[in-house]
């Protein structure tokens, strides 16, 4: 037992009510206020305790530093066991000890007792973390230790404006979860204005910052890449056009469709004219469709052929009229599928 001095009457207080006594304890408050810390049998016979006594004591006292914590205690004695229970004298405004540095103090009752122990603390107004020019965050920890926390932190806006996060009126209790972006950085997708989308329409990204807008189109307006698509009304597929004019047996026309205009040809009957065609959309598996769309040439019996390579094709024009040469330009329409 860390009793350095048993409760001793304070001079000039004998006979007064309550009876004031002083004591020194080296034990901490929790030990001192444990039932049986003192017993009637352990006390000096000449200095008994009674339920009317009030003890002023230093507890957690160190003789090396001659310092401790001051407390006032009331006395309760069990008549059956002789155990003495010391209770901290409680006054309105007293602090419940021990307190923890940097913890929020709060009232534990309606008479002003203050504590820093764990509790659900209520503030009827606003709660602010930090102040203008001094950063502050709100952090919420889960019940499992060493599993991180959820932090709400403000960053500098372009101007002196506030960002408010609030809910719309909900018809039920809801838990809204933030999905794992599988990355150290992620963004919410958000739409501008209170009603940014049309029911049934596709939303689409506006830029790369997470802003979404309404596409103005329902799912039925989009093609299905893995099923047959049936177009109705004005629905159609329009391929991007790229035209080119051949010169010196070469032409560049990089598109899914377009028109190639040849030079003025004089290919004799039974011969052919080969053109190296550069088209970055052509691959070795492309299907190339060709058709004659006009030109100044009047020799009609012509055959067209195109090979498919990587970004290139050999376009061959055959003059199938044995006795007549080609005599002008040919417009060749193409499609690359």
Q: Where are the domains positioned within the chain?
A: 3-88, 244-336
Longest dimension (CA), the chain: 148
Structure tokens at 216: 């103005």
Query: Pick from 281, 278, 261: which is nearest to 336 by CA?
Result: 281
pLDDT tens profile 300-317: 999 999 999 999 999 999
Mean pLDDT of 130-150: 95
Q: Which pTM does this prediction carry?
A: 0.55
Q: How many CB atoms sit inside 10 A of residue 203's CB?
A: 14
**286 or 42, greater pLDDT:** 286
Q: Would you state the pLDDT for residue 14?
A: 63
Domain 244-336 fold = Immunoglobulin-like (2.60.40)
Over 80: is that where the pLDDT of 184 sits?
A: yes
Q: Would you state the pLDDT for residue 47?
A: 74
Our CA dihedral for 202, 203, 206, 208, rounded to 10 degrees, sits at -110
pLDDT band at residue 228 using 50, 70 and 90 as cut-offs: confident
What are all long-range contacts of 48-53, with beta carbons under 8 Å and residues at least 24 apart? 49/7, 49/21, 49/75, 49/77, 49/84, 50/19, 50/75, 50/77, 51/75, 51/76, 51/77, 52/17, 52/18, 52/19, 53/7, 53/18, 53/19, 53/20, 53/21
Q: Would you state the pLDDT for residue 49?
A: 86
Peptide bond before 98: cis, by omega within 30 degrees of 0?
Answer: yes
């Amino acid at each position: 037992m860390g009793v350095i001095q048993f409760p001793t009457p304070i001079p000039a207080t004998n006979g007064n009510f309550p009876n004031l006594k002083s004591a020194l304890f080296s034990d901490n408050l929790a030990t001192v206020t444990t039932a049986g810390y003192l017993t009637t049998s352990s006390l000096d016979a000449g200095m008994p305790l009674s339920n009317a006594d009030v003890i002023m004591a230093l507890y957690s006292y160190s003789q090396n530093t001659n310092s401790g914590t001051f407390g006032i205690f009331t006395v309760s004695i069990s008549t059956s066991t002789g155990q003495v229970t010391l209770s901290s004298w409680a006054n309105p405004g007293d602090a419940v000890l021990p307190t923890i540095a940097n913890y929020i103090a709060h009232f534990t009752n309606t008479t002003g007792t203050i504590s820093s122990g764990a509790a659900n603390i209520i503030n009827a107004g606003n709660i602010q973390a930090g102040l203008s020019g001094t950063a502050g965050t709100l952090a919420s920890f889960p019940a499992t230790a060493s599993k991180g926390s959820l932090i709400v932190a403000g960053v500098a806006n372009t101007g002196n404006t506030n960002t408010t996060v609030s809910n719309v009126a909900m018809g039920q209790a809801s838990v809204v979860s933030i999905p794992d972006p599988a990355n150290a950085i992620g963004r919410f997708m958000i739409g501008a204005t209170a009603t940014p989308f049309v029911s049934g329409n596709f939303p689409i990204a506006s830029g790369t910052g997470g802003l979404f807008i309404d596409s103005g189109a329902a799912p039925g307006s989009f093609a299905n890449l893995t099923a047959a698509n049936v177009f109705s009304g004005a629905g159609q597929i329009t391929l991007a056009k790229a035209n080119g004019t051949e010169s010196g047996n070469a032409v560049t026309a990089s598109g899914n469709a377009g028109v190639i205009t040849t030079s003025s040809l004089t290919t004799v009957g039974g011969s052919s004219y080969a053109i190296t065609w550069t088209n970055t959309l052509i691959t070795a598996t492309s299907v190339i469709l060709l058709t004659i769309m006009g030109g100044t040439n009047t020799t009609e019996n012509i055959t067209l052929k195109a090979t498919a390579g990587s970004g290139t094709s050999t376009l061959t024009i055959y003059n199938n009229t044995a006795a007549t040469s080609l005599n002008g330009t040919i417009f060749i329409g193409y499609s690359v599928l």
